Amino acid sequence: MSEKITILGIGGHVGDMELTAGGVLASHALKGDRVVTLALTAGERGVPAGRIMSEYREQKVNEANEFAKMLGGEAIVFDIPDGELQDNDDMRYRVCDVIRQVKPNIIITHFKNSMHKDHMTTHRIVNDARFYAGLASFERELPNHFASKLYYAENWEDAVDYRPYVYVDFSQEAYDLWVKAVSTHWFVTGSKSFPYLEYYKHLARVRGIEARKQYAETFMIPEETMRLRQSEL
């Protein structure tokens, strides 16, 4: 029996990791692995017309919790206003502390380039926080923990220079669970600015075809780890 692992998805907003890596998260959940999501902001500035932003923030937090619950996991949402995420050491320490608390084997976050500044800031914060979390000499309340694997999810908003490097396939059961869980997010099904659910459902199928599987999601990895090792041609 394989050892259970913990996977932590860290997004700039509620819904980022649920959409871009949700199939893989659902697949891990069905295998009995622990799934945790961390949103550095709730993403409340996408408030529907006529709604109060503070109420929509509360809804977004509830949606994060509902998605995680459906995967048997946990959701954490920082109390930071959407669009005001600061690229500073305090944020790195906060994420470092979550990494030490959750103890993930795998972290998934945003790719480095994006049309959205919160996504790019999250990328930089997570890279450094992972480093801080792994250093025993970096003293915090909790002992050090190093997440051995780091992946950057495919996101239509983070597309500049993104090239699929790792394909991770998942089953019909995982696909169905993901679609059901992510559909609890209003913006996924109700947004008039972009057809999120349709786009990511089709993308999962296209990436699956490319991988010669049914469904898949793709990821980039840190550039310094892009090495294919083999002993013969």
Q: Which domains does the chain have, with CATH numbers?
A: 6-225 (3.40.50.10320)
Give the tens place of pLDDT for each residue, 6-36: 999 999 999 999 999 999 999 999 999 999 9
The pair of three-digit structure tokens given for residue 2, joined into one six-digit string = 């394989």
pTM for this prediction = 0.96
Instruction: State yes or no: pLDDT of 95 exceeds 90.
Output: yes
Q: Is 53 helix (H, G, I), strand (E, B) or coil?
A: helix
Residue for token pair 């503070």: 54
**201-209: long-range contacts at Cβ-Cβ below 8 A with a sequence spacing of 24 or more?**
203/154, 204/23, 204/175, 207/154, 207/164, 207/167, 208/169
Give the tens place of pLDDT for each residue, 120-164: 999 999 999 999 999 999 999 999 999 999 999 999 999 999 999
Residues 6+ apart with CB under 8 A from 190: 48
